[in-house]
A = this chain, B = another copy of it.
Amino acid sequence: MSPESVTVYGMSTSGNCHKVRLLLEQLGRRFDWVEVDSANGATRTAEYLSKNPNGKVPMLARADGGILVESNAILCWLAEGTSFLPSDAWQRAQALSWLFFEQYSHEPYIAVARFIRGWTPLDSPRRTDLPRLLERGGQALVVMEKHLQDAAWFTGPDYGVADIALFAYTHCADDGGFDLSTYPRITDWLARVRATQAFVPMPGVSDDVAARLASS
């Protein structure tokens, strides 16, 4: 029996959303994608909030109407019983540890720096946050670089959910003002992720976002 089809509500240029698309593609699983312009308030409508009161993407909906939110929880559910999530309890806990690291110590700095530089006006007051975000995000990259001294992947012996989650915003960290060329092990790991079977890249940003990133 093949797993049921699911619907993903997401913004294609969001790393958190791309995590879900990447895993679904690599699982060869059928899915529908509903584009949600979360940068312009589409997650704040009454209809959207009735499904996800926290007003964020991505959101997964099952055919029976069941809803699951939080990108990394979605990854774990989709990966259950596959090689993308370790079956050994201790190793699975280590993968989960990296998923929490990603959401607490990595994404709030590296993704948010990219968002501010690409999606807010060049004179936005939020840009005063950038030095702090670069400092904290740099600390997260150092922790990743150190892990890769002794390991090929973050999920465990094999590629999986933690690699997908950390790839999401690490691969485009340069957009936020980080210099990935100073992290050689991360650079090698990004290449290994891109070489995994059925890998799909994150769609490019729109022309106006690209222009803002180039001017930042």
Contacts and interface: CB of A to CB of B under 8 A. Distances in A.
- Name the residue among A101, A104, A108 with the largest chain B CB count within 10 angstroms: A104
A170 interface: no
Quickly give the copy total for this chain. Answer: 2
Contact of A69 (B56, B71, B73, B97): B97
Nearest to A89: B80
A73 B93 contact: yes
B105 A93 contact: no
Nearest to A94: B68
A74 interface: yes
Interface in A21-78: 53-54, 56, 66, 68-74, 76-77
A146 interface: yes
Is the interface on chain A under 10, 10 to 19, 20 to 34, or 35 or more residues?
A: 20 to 34
A24 to B, nearest CB: 15
A81 B89 CA distance: 10
Contacts of A66: 90
A15 to B, nearest CB: 14
A70 B96 contact: yes
The 8 closest A-B pairs by CB, nearest first: A77-B93, A73-B97, A70-B100, A73-B96, A70-B97, A53-B143, A103-B104, A80-B89
24 contacts: A53-B142, A53-B143, A54-B105, A54-B143, A68-B90, A68-B93, A68-B97, A70-B96, A70-B100, A70-B104, A72-B96, A73-B96, A73-B97, A74-B93, A76-B93, A76-B96, A77-B93, A80-B89, A81-B89, A96-B96, A99-B100, A103-B103, A103-B104, A104-B108
Interface of A: 53-54, 56, 66, 68-74, 76-77, 80-81, 89-90, 92-94, 96-97, 99-101, 103-105, 107-108, 142-143, 146-147
